Amino acid sequence: MKYFIVITILLISFTVKSQILNAESLRKVTDTSGWSGSASVNFALKRNTNDFFTINSDIHVQYKMNKHLVLFKNQVNFEKIEEEKFTNNGISHLRYNYRFHERIAWEFFLQGQYNKVNLIDFRGLAGTGPRFKLTTSENYKFYLGILIMYEQEELSDGTMVSRTVRNSSYLSFSLYPTDRITVVSTTYYQPRISDFSNFRISSQSSLAIDLFSDFAFTINYTFTYDETPALGIPNSQYAFTTGLAYSFD
Looking at residue 90, its pLDDT comes to: 85
* Among the listed residues 128, 125, 129, the one whose alpha carbon sits nearest the alpha carbon of residue 152: 125
Model confidence at 64: pLDDT above 70: yes
Quote the pTM value. 0.77
Long-range contacts, stretch 192-196, CB < 8 angstroms, 24+ apart: 192/164, 192/165, 192/166, 193/148, 193/164, 193/165, 193/166, 193/167, 194/164, 194/165
Model confidence at 191: pLDDT above 50: yes
User: For 67-97, how does the pLDDT look when each residue is reduced to its tens digit (9 = 90+)?
Assistant: 999 999 888 777 777 666 566 788 999 999 9
Candidate from 49-63, 106-120, 143-157, 170-184 with smallest mean pLDDT: 49-63
Domain boundaries of the chain, sorted by first residue: 2-248
Maximum distance among all Cα pairs of the chain, rounded to whole angstroms: 53
Amino acid letter, residue 55 = I
Task: Reply yes or no on domain 2-248 having CATH 3.40.50.300.
Answer: no
Q: What is the dihedral sign for C-alpha 63, 140, 2, 56?
A: negative
* CA 60 – CA 73 distance, rounded (Å): 5
In DSSP terms, 178 is beta-bridged to 181
User: For 16-61, how does the pLDDT look when each residue is reduced to its tens digit (9 = 90+)?
Assistant: 333 344 555 445 555 567 888 888 777 777 676 777 777 877 888 9
